[in-house]
Each structure stands twice: as structure tokens, then as C-alpha cells.
Amino acid sequence: MLDDLLNASGLPRREAIALLEAASGLRREALIAHGSDPTPSEVQALFERMVAQRRLGVPIAYLTGFREFYGRSFWVSPATLIPRIETELLIDTVIDLTRAAERPLRLADLGTGSGCIGITLALEIRSAEITATDRSAAALQVARNNAAFLGAAPKTRFFEGSWFDALPRDRVKYHGLISNPPYVSAGDPHLSRGDLRFEPKAALSPAATGDGTTAQSDGLSDIAILATGAPEWLETGGFLLVEHGSEQQAAVIELFRQAGLTRVRGLVDDQSLPRAVIGFRAS
Ligand SMILES: C[S@@+](CC[C@H](N)C(=O)[O-])C[C@H]1O[C@@H](n2cnc3c(N)ncnc32)[C@H](O)[C@@H]1O
């Protein structure tokens, strides 16, 4: 019986239903409509395994295998960050900036993870042509699958490698570079709490430096690489847009200015938290 199973899980009802949907392959409406039917033993066994994992803290998205982003379902795996709602600010910003564009727009999503940023831009902006990169081959495979599954593959190409090193050296300049890079400082206590415990460390915090120093203590070293390299890869008037932590905005604005970007400004998310910075390449 549905209610007995959900109550016995000890999880919040919303979470228990999400896991039962995944275990049974049935949508919530069907589960409720058949709520008094006996649950098949294999569904119950799978559900109980998922509940046990959830009780250990495993994120719901890694158990169900997907997360919603900008109204679409993206497959995720433990190799990818779980897309966050605050990252939708990057999508809204790029859509606003490119609304009037008629020519093809070359956009790059650097550190694509599940592909949620690049694929969403490919699907939301008719003239967008997306180049998406990541240092993680496993994440890129998830992103490729999402592009195929969501119908964005014809407008999206994927490359493996570190930041600008991953981009093809075909002298192409980009109209926009967009990134949600790792920016959590290595010592941040949030890394040992909640979902973050299970997400790839390389997606959350900048990698350690080769010389063993902790240049990443402020979490800004990847953003610094992106800001410094951006002017070389942007066409005149093109933009760099990055997400950052809510206490990093002043420092990120400074990094953009030092890199020679102009019209630099900070953006806030739906919760009015400073969340992203944009800057443009002057002539
Ligand atoms: C915060 S996650 C963002 C993932 C996805 N764009 C999103 O918003 O959900 C950062 C991503 O950058 C990738 N990454 C980390 N270091 C990188 C590097 N040096 N070059 C390219 N990608 C990198 C990670 O593998 C991860 O997928």
C-alpha cells in the first residue's frame, strides 16, 4: 500500500514520492490512483534500497538520476554537479543580452558538467551555437547524453580539457563565454554538509596548485583563469559571464577589471544574493 510504504520510509513525503516514482517507473498521479494496490516486491525492494541510501545522505538527484533545470530534466551522475536553481540566472542573463541577435551566436559553456547551461542556451536561443567543455570525461559523457536526449545535439559540440585549453584552436572568437566554475574555497565547512559531501570535489573547489600552495583559499583561482584568458577568446563587444559565491562579488568584479574587461557589473539572483558577474571585451 502506497501510504504504508511512504510512511515507513521515514523520509519527507516529497522525497519518498520522488524515490517511489523512480523505483516504480510510474508518475505520481499513477501512484496515487493505484495507491491501494499491493506494491510489486521488486519495486518495494528497490525503493527500500534507495531509502537506505537517502538516509545516509545521498542526494535525491543521484538516486533518481535526474534534476530539473530551466523546465527540462537533465540526467546527472556522481561525476556531475547537480544543477542548481540559482544557475538559471546565467540563462536569463544570456537570453536578455542576445534577444535582438539575428546572426549565429557562438557561445561557450566552460565547465559544462551535466550540460545544463550550454544545452539550455542551445534550446532557448534559436541562433546559438554552443561549444561546451569540461575537464571530466565522465561529466562530458553525461552532457553528450543530455544533448542527444533533449534534442540539442545538432547545435552543441563538446571538448575535453582545462578551461581555454579545451577550445579548438580554429581562430574562432566567441560572442559569449559562460561558466559556473568551481568556486567553493577548499576549507569551507559547507563541503562536509548536505549534498555537497557527495558531489565531485573537482566541480566544487578549484584544484590544488602544483606547488602545493593553497592559492585557492579564497576559491577564486578558476575565476581568475577565466577572466585573464577571456579577452583573447572574445570578439569585440563579446561577454564573459560567471557564477560565483555570494560573498565573492567584489573580488570577482576586480578580477574582471584587472583583465581589461569593461562595463563590468554584478548580478543578483532571485533571492537578491550577489551571484554572477558580467564584463565585455572592449575594441
Ligand atoms: C560548479 S560545476 C558546474 C557544472 C554545470 N555547468 C552546472 O552549472 O551545473 C564546475 C564544472 O567545472 C568542471 N571543471 C573543474 N575544473 C575544470 C577545469 N580546469 N577545466 C574545465 N572544467 C573544469 C567540473 O568538472 C565541473 O563539471
- Residue 213: per-residue pLDDT: 47
- Residue 212: per-residue pLDDT: 44
- Residue 214: per-residue pLDDT: 45
- pTM (two decimals): 0.94
Q: What φ, ψ does residue 14 adopt, rounded to 5°?
A: -60, -45
The CA-to-CA distance between both ends of the chain, in Å, stands at 67
- Residue 208: per-residue pLDDT: 58
- Give pLDDT < 70 ranges for the chain: 208-216
What CATH architecture does domain 67-280 belong to?
A: 3-Layer(aba) Sandwich (3.40)
Question: In the numeric block, which cell numbers belong to residue 69?
Answer: 533545470
Spatial CA neighbour of 83 closest among 171, 173, 180: 180
Instruction: State if residue 203 touches ligand 1 by the CB under 6 angstroms criterion.
Output: yes
Instruction: State if residue 202 touches ligand 1 by the CB under 6 angstroms criterion.
Output: yes
Cα 37 from Cα 133, distance rounded (Å):
47
Q: What is the pLDDT of residues 53-68, one digit of tens each?
A: 999 999 999 999 999 9
Q: Side chain identity at 212, as an amino acid letter? A: G
Nearest CA to ligand 1 atom 14: 111
Instruction: State if residue 112 touches ligand 1 by the CB under 6 angstroms criterion.
Output: yes
Mutate to test the pocket of ligand 1, among 70, 112, 158 (most ligand atoms within 8 A of CB): 112
Q: Which helix (H) or strand (E) holds 133?
A: strand 128-134
- Residue 211: per-residue pLDDT: 47
- Residue 209: per-residue pLDDT: 52
Show me where the domains of the chain are located.
2-56, 67-280
